[in-house]
Structure 1
Amino acid sequence: MGKTTKATLVFLVLFIGGVVYLSTRIARSTCRVCVTYDGHTICRTAASGTRKAAVESAVTSACSGLASGMTESIKCESTPPDSVECAED
């Protein structure tokens, strides 16, 4: 095996290891959020590096199932959640 091949293999192993490590370290907060919009309620769970980001992601996910169109989505995402339950990892 040549020097270039060895260097490429070492790089790939380190790169893949770094991606796996960082992927498992990012989600520190997991939140379950329930949102009611236009008479319908949906609960969604999301994980992120911060509690705030996890809540925002869960609200966006819930509203994607409740609202259609940009205007309704913005209104839904502006609605305070009915409940928020978070756990720190």
Structure 2
Amino acid sequence: MEILRKPILTEKASALTEKLNRYAFQVDHRANKLQIKAAVEKMFGVQVKAVNTAVVTGKMKSRQTKTGIASGRVAKYKKAIITLNDGDIIDFYSTIQ
């Protein structure tokens, strides 16, 4: 099971990072807080202070088709907010060339 799916890089998440040293990740819906903490510490080599999780419900979407309007829902996902100890940072852009 791949626990960390991808980082969430939105304006709100960036503000959390700058002000409170918190990072947001989309994680596997079966992962618990202890597994998420271990995965972040192993992958990035940092000390995690706290992990908060939330299940984000998918938004309703509709689109026009040839036969009418099709509606559906975007898939739900689990979000983890990771708080790091003072002095630790995660640099997502260091490996981009």
* TM-score normalized by the length of structure 2: 0.28
More strand per residue: 2
More helix per residue: 1
Q: Which structure's CA Rg is the greater one?
A: 1
* TM-score normalized by the length of structure 1: 0.30
